[in-house]
Structure 1
Amino acid sequence: MDLRDRAARVCLEDAFDAVLGIVPWGAAFGGPRLVARVDGAAGMVPLLATAGTAEGLRAARSHIDRHLALCLGAEPLRPAWEWTEAGRWVGCSRPAPGWSRGRAWLLLALADAAVFLDDGSYAQVAREMLGRDRGMTGDLVPSADMTPYQTHFSAGKLMHQGPVDTSAAAIEAVALLKLAATVTASEAEGLRGRATTILRHLVTAHLTAPGAGRPPGMLLHGCYDLDQGIAVRHELVWGDFFLALGLALVTGLVDADDV
C-alpha cells in the first residue's frame, strides 16, 4: 500500500503533464517521450485515482478522457499517438491500427475508470464499443492483427490468417468482469458470461497441462509484436497475469473493487 501511494504521488506530481492532460508513455523503452498509448491508460487511471487527492481524481479523469478522444477518434481504433514539436497529436505507426491488444487495453481502462472514478459514463462507452465491434471480435481469441487485410470470411464466419493473441483475450476477460461490477444485474450477467466463456476456452485450449513436456499452467499462443515477428506464438507474462487475475475474479478470490 505504501509503495502504491508513493508511486501515485510521483506520477501525479512529477510525471503528469497538465498541458497534454496525461502521464506520457515516456522514453524508457526508446522513442519519443510525449506519447499517449492505450496500454498506458488502464493501470494509470486507478493509480492516479488512489493518490488520495482531488488533483489525483482530476488527473485520472483527464488521462482516460484524452486517450478516449485520441484512440476512439480514429477508425479503426488507433492505439498510439505522439505529441509533435508542431504542437499537435499525430498517430504513431506502431502499434498500428488493428493491434489486437488495443481494444482490450481500452476496455480495461474504461472498466478502471468506471470503478475508481465512480462514473457510469465510462461503462456506457464500453457498452458502445462492445456493441459496435461485436462482428469483428466474435471469436473468443482475437487475431494478432484485426485489420481487414488479415481476415476473411468463409461460409459466413470470420476466419483469421496468421497468429492469434491469447493475451488480448485474457485482458478482455478481466475488463468484462470489472465492468460487470458497475452495471445493472441483467447487463452484468451477460458480461460475466462472456468473460467466463473466454477464460474457460483459454484454460482448456491454450494452457499447458501436466505431463505435456512443459511446465503446467503456461498460457500459450500470445503474440507480442507481429509486425517485427517477435514472440508471435509465445507465453507472455501479461497473458499469464491477466488469466490468473480473471480466474481469481470469477472464483471470488479477489474483488473487482480491489484491483
Structure 2
Amino acid sequence: MGRLFVMIVLMSLLAACGRKGGLVPPDSLVPAAVADLRAEQKGEQFYVTWSAPSRDAGGKPLKDLAGFRLFRREVLPPDEDCESCPTAYGLLQQVDLEFPKGVQLYNNLYIFTDTGLKDGTTYQYKLVAYNKEGAESAPSRARSKKVASPAAPRLTATSTPTGVTLEWQPASGAGTDRAGFNVYRRRGSDIATLALLTPQPVKGNRYEDLHADFGVTYTYMVREVASSDGQLVEGAISNEVTGAQALPE
C-alpha cells in the first residue's frame, strides 16, 4: 500500500510538471545574433552599422538587452590567417546601452566610425550582444577592404520653379573605376532628416531634385562612388550647398 501511494504521488508530480512545459534551454535566453552588421567605406573611414535584436535566441521578445561588444581584426593572407587564434581580434568598442559612448544612434541604427585604416588591408568585424546577466549572443561578422577613395567633388546648386538643380565637378586622380555619384539631402541643419536621394549612383555631373517641398530650404552634399575589387566605395563628401524651390517667374 505504501509503495502504491508513493507511485501515485510521483505520477501526479510528473503530470503536473508536464502541464507546465519542458525546461527552457539556457542558450535560448541569450540575445539573438545581430542580423544586419555591415562595414561600409565612406571617404577614409569605415562606418560599422547594426540594429539591436528584438528577440532572444529562443524567439521570445528580448527585454534585458544591456549592450554590445565590437571587435576587429586584420585579415591576413590565407597561409597566415587564423581567425580562431586568441589574439586575432581586439576589442574596438563596448557599448553600454545605459551610458552609450563611441557610437551614434540614427533611426534605430547604431553607427561606429572606424578611422586610421590602411589602404589594401581587409578588416573583419565581430559583434556580440549581451544581456544584463552578461550572457552573449552568437557573434555576427562583416568584412571590408580599405581602398584609396575618390576625393571630394565641388558642388553648386540652382533653385528653380520645379525644384533644385545640382551640378558638380569631380575631383581627378581617384585611382579607381568611377561608378557614379550619390546625392544626399537634409532639411536645413537638421541631421536627423539626412537622406540618400539616389538609390543608384547617378551617372554624369547633374541631378535635379523634383521632390523639394515649397518653402523649405534644403542642404545638399555629393559623394563620388568608385568600384574597387567588386565593392562600391563612397569617396570624400563634397562641400555643402543650399537650395529651395523658387517662385515661378
TM-score normalised by length of structure 2: 0.26
When Rg is computed on C-alpha atoms for both structures, the one with the higher figure is 2
Higher helix share: 1
TM-score by length of 1: 0.26
* Structure with the larger strand share: 2
Greater relative contact order (CA < 8 Å, ≥ 6 in sequence): 2
